[in-house]
Amino acid sequence: MRLRLIIFILAVFAFLSASTGGWLYYYSYREAAFQRNESDADSKLNLLTRQFAAHLSEHIKPVKALSGIKELKKALEETNLETIYRANQILDHFASAMDLDVCYLMDVTGVTLCSSNRNAADSFVGKDFSFRPYYKHAVQGEPSTYLALGTTSSKRGVYFSHPVYDSRHKNIIGVTVIKSSIEFLEASLFSESKEILLFTDPQGVIFMSNVPDYRFQLLWPLSEKTMNAIVDSRQFGNGPWEWSGFDRSAQGVVTDKRGNEYLYSGLSVSNYPGWQIVSLRNKKEIQRQVTGPFISVIGPIVIFVSVMAGLLVFLLYQMAARELLRRKRAEEQLKVSEQRYRRIYHKTPVMLHSIDRDGRIIHVSDHWVEVMGFDRKDVIGRQLTDFFTEASKKYALNVIFPRFFSTGFCKDIPYTYVKKNGEKMDTLLSCYGVRNERGEILRSLAVSVDVTEKNLVQRDLEKAKEKLYSYSHDLEGQVRRRTAQLEAAQASLKKLSKNIIASQEREKELVARELHDHLGQVLTALRIDSVWAEKKLNGIDPKAGQRAAKMSDLIESTIQDVRDMAYRLRPRVLDDLGLTDALESLVSDFEKRSNVSCIFRHDDIPEIDKTLATTLYRIGQEALTNALRHSRASTILVELKTDPQGIVLTIRDDGCGFETDANGTQKGFGLESMAERANLVGGKLTINSAPDEGTLVSCKISLGRYI
């Protein structure tokens, strides 16, 4: 007893000594960690502010260069479709080359005339941004940089503006603006930080953060007057700007809504007065960083000393009681195991039985006697075969029993039991032998599974299969008859579609002839009269002469449009010179009307009838139109060739491609129209395409009945 007390006192003393040393080490290490964290945060903030200042000022010179481009000045001085078009081209090129969000040109009243996003849903064209500070400064001759949420696009960005002067560089006639997205800047500079980083405006509105939930919240509570000023500026949208929950609790420490404390550091960004980057570092997380090394170094020592002291105190006592405890547990486990085995054997819902070497039953489960309908006392000691039919009894005695007592195993043996009420039950029996030390089989443990219902179902299934075969044979005959009817209906529908398309082509030909012969002649006469009027008026009224000249040009343009419409409806070259020349003219016309290189290759094509030529021409026309509208291709190749089976028209582009379904097609009116035209002349249309791999449209038609 005294030795145990001494060991206990020594253990307590060792534990207190280790704990005191660990606490002193932990306290000094924690203070050093806080100081190191503060220094690292200041260094990181200095680096971030320099990087922010560099990124937020990188487009000052480009917007100045953009404002000096003569096409933009021309659009402001002489606003018409041509000058607007040229200015838009410059803005598109500028935005694409510098990977900008958008570039746009504003007149002196603040209305957007041209924009690189003019075709987008959030287009700036026609929008009045005269309320924006970057416009107000620029129109006064002061280039400006401005951070805000777009009122139209609802996207955050930095705006760079510069005044546009007239050709004499005296008067301000407009403003050029570049908007650069800050999403990349936020992701590249903030995302890797473990602490909370915020970029706030002078009032404390959080403009950027690596925690998305804090964006456009208020870092500190603001007065109603300040909130109204933020609403009036429309710099950050329409709100609401909720308070983030941060509050200053001590010098350099802030607390959130949940009471978590953060170390606070903030640094202003140069060239952006009042804007600053704020770093919030979780105080508990820093403490955990301190606690980790302490636990990994000092903790194991303290725990080791404490455990060793405890082991020395209880070692002798445990050694004395261990053997008795082990024996007691072994006896209890043996009893529990035996009870569990008996419970499982009797309560398992399957038929279990055991027989000795003479075939007499020595054990049966509760489920066995329940299913068979006997009492246990009427079963124990009797031969197992007494409960079999005669056929099963002979099979067991002559085949199964000798095999089992030789091998000690059998599986899925079919027997038929006879219950007490005389009812027969089909079973599958599996068993294995329990052997003694010499390997001799003493008894069996067998499981019988009732398969009576299964056998009945199997027999019914065989009968059902026979009926199903008969029904299937009758159904095949009905399907053949129905198929013949559908084929006849499909042939009629195909003939109708062919007549409709032929009628459409005749109507297009008639309209094209009317446009070319009648309307074209009338417009030509009008142009002759306008030229005559121009010559007469030049000597009398120069301004009227100019108006007559513009009228003449407009009539000439209309004549060309009428000719183009007539050509697209029904090109004369298809009727006069044939399919090859018509396709060559079509490709040439598409190349003139776009920036895409169009190439046409062909073999010597035999003469074909008008229907087939029109079909191939329309398929080529539709495929070229789809490629120019949707593929964004730089090159389109059209080939017209022959092979032993017929004539092949292929249109291939190097554009963006698209996803096709399992049959290699995609739903769409134009694609279905091409496929239907090919089908009506006995041809086949195939479309092969995949994203970023271009598109190949191929139409192959047999020439057997068209030459």
Write the pLDDT tens digit of every residue in 568-584. 665 666 666 678 888 88
CATH of the domain at 429: 3.30.450.20
Buried-state track 255-276, b at ≥16 Cβ within 10 A, e below 16: beeeeebbbbbebebeebeebb
Of 159, 178, 182, the closest CA to residue 115 belongs to 178
In a domain, 82, yes or no: yes
pLDDT in tens, 615-661: 888 888 888 888 888 888 889 999 999 887 789 999 999 888 888 76
- The answer to whether residues 253 and 366 belong to one domain is no
The predicted pLDDT at position 575 comes to 66
The predicted pLDDT at position 112 comes to 93
> In which domain, by residue range, is 492 found?
456-570
Phi-psi region of 271 (alpha: psi -120 to 50; beta: other; left: phi over 0): left
In a domain, 309, yes or no: no
Beta-strand pair 635-643/597-602: parallel
In a domain, 41, yes or no: no
In a domain, 313, yes or no: no
**Domains in the chain: how many in total?**
5
DSSP-assigned letter for residue 605 = P
pLDDT in tens, 537-553: 787 888 887 887 888 78
- The answer to whether residues 495 and 557 belong to one domain is yes
pLDDT confidence tier of residue 318, bands split at 50, 70 and 90: low
Q: Specify the range with the lowest mean pLDDT, choosing from 19-23, 55-59, 211-215, 425-429.
A: 19-23
In a domain, 679, yes or no: yes
Beta-strand pair 102-107/684-689: unpaired
Last residue of a domain, one of 151, 181, 211: 181
- The answer to whether residues 595 and 679 belong to one domain is yes
- The answer to whether residues 469 and 551 belong to one domain is yes
- The answer to whether residues 206 and 134 belong to one domain is no
Say whether pLDDT at 248 is over 70.
yes
Last residue of a domain, one of 552, 570, 588: 570
Q: Specify the range with the lowest mean pLDDT, choosing from 150-159, 306-315, 332-341.
A: 306-315
- The answer to whether residues 133 and 176 belong to one domain is yes
Which amino acid is it at 489? A
In a domain, 46, yes or no: no
Task: Please tell me the distance from the alpha carbon of residue 19 to that of residue 6, in angstroms, as a whole number.
Answer: 20
- The answer to whether residues 585 and 636 belong to one domain is yes
- The answer to whether residues 631 and 667 belong to one domain is yes
- The answer to whether residues 534 and 630 belong to one domain is no
Say whether pLDDT at 18 is over 60.
no
Last residue of a domain, one of 570, 591, 613: 570
- The answer to whether residues 446 and 460 belong to one domain is no
- The answer to whether residues 213 and 279 belong to one domain is yes
pLDDT confidence tier of residue 613, bands split at 50, 70 and 90: confident
More confident residue, 493 or 105: 105
pLDDT in tens, 477-522: 777 778 776 766 555 555 555 555 556 556 665 665 566 556 666 6
Task: Please tell me the distance from the alpha carbon of residue 6 to that of residue 163, in angstroms, as a whole number.
Answer: 92
In a domain, 613, yes or no: yes
When pLDDT is averaged across residues 98-105 and rounded to a whole number, the result is 90
The predicted pLDDT at position 3 comes to 46
In a domain, 327, yes or no: no
When pLDDT is averaged across residues 323-336 and rounded to a whole number, the result is 72
Q: Is the dihedral of CA 295, 299, 301, 304 positive or negative?
A: negative
- The answer to whether residues 565 and 585 belong to one domain is no
User: Helix or strand or coil: residue 254?
Assistant: strand
